[in-house]
């Protein structure tokens, strides 16, 4: 995390003094972009750097499902399971993915290629069911579309 401090300093300059806690989320996002997840040592480093209570960092980490505490696969398959997606077959889709990848939500395939996750509303209810593959949305999904999507990956 230390190598990111020059970037954190630039962010810090945009906030008034005394608002260090406002930097927790942007710093965690940058750490995750860099490492792929937020390690315990990152939390320690951020607490020391910002001078905020550890619980403040842990609260942010536990609230935002986008922030990860462990490494994930090269491809992160996130399937929405909230009401609109559920009404349009999200459970069948999740079950299909579970069988196809051989892992349960929250797990990563043995080869490290795929991590399967379920998430709450992705904000695209009108095009349910929705799957996110890394940072890209895939809407009106079906088992066949998932097969085509994953089949085209390296």
Binding footprint of ligand FES on the chain (CB under 6 A): 80, 82-85, 121-125, 128, 130
Nearer residue to ligand FES within complex by CB, 11 or 119: 119
Nearer residue to ligand FES within complex by CB, 21 or 124: 124
Beta strands in the chain (DSSP E): 75-80, 114-119, 131-133, 136-138
Phi, psi of 19 (to 5 degrees): -110, 35
Give least dist CB 86 to ligand FES, A: 7
Cβ atoms of 33 and 44 closer than 8 Å: no
Q: What is the DSSP letter of 75?
A: E
Give least dist CB 65 to ligand FES, A: 13
Nearer residue to ligand FES within complex by CB, 112 or 123: 123
Asked whether the CA dihedral 141, 146, 150, 151 is positive or negative, the reply is negative
Give least dist CB 6 to ligand FES, A: 37
Helix, strand or coil for residue 78? strand
C-alpha 16/C-alpha 77 separation (Å) is: 38
Nearer residue to ligand FES within complex by CB, 67 or 121: 121
Give least dist CB 73 to ligand FES, A: 22
């Amino acid at each position: 995390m230390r190598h990111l401090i020059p970037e954190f300093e630039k962010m810090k300059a945009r906030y008034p003094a005394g608002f260090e806690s406002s930097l927790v989320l942007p710093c965690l996002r940058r750490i995750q972009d860099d490492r792929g997840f937020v390690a315990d040592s990152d939390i320690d480093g951020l607490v020391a750097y910002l001078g905020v209570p550890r619980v403040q960092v842990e609260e942010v980490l536990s609230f935002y499902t986008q922030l990860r505490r462990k490494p994930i696969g090269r491809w992160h398959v996130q399937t929405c399971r909230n009401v609109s997606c559920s009404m349009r077959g999200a459970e069948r889709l999740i079950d299909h993915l579970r069988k196809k990848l051989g892992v349960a939500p929250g797990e990563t395939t043995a080869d490290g290629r795929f991590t399967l996750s379920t998430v709450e509303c992705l904000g695209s209810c009108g095009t349910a069911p929705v799957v996110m593959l890394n940072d890209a949305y895939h809407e009106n999904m079906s088992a066949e579309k998932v097969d085509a999507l994953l089949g085209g990956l390296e």
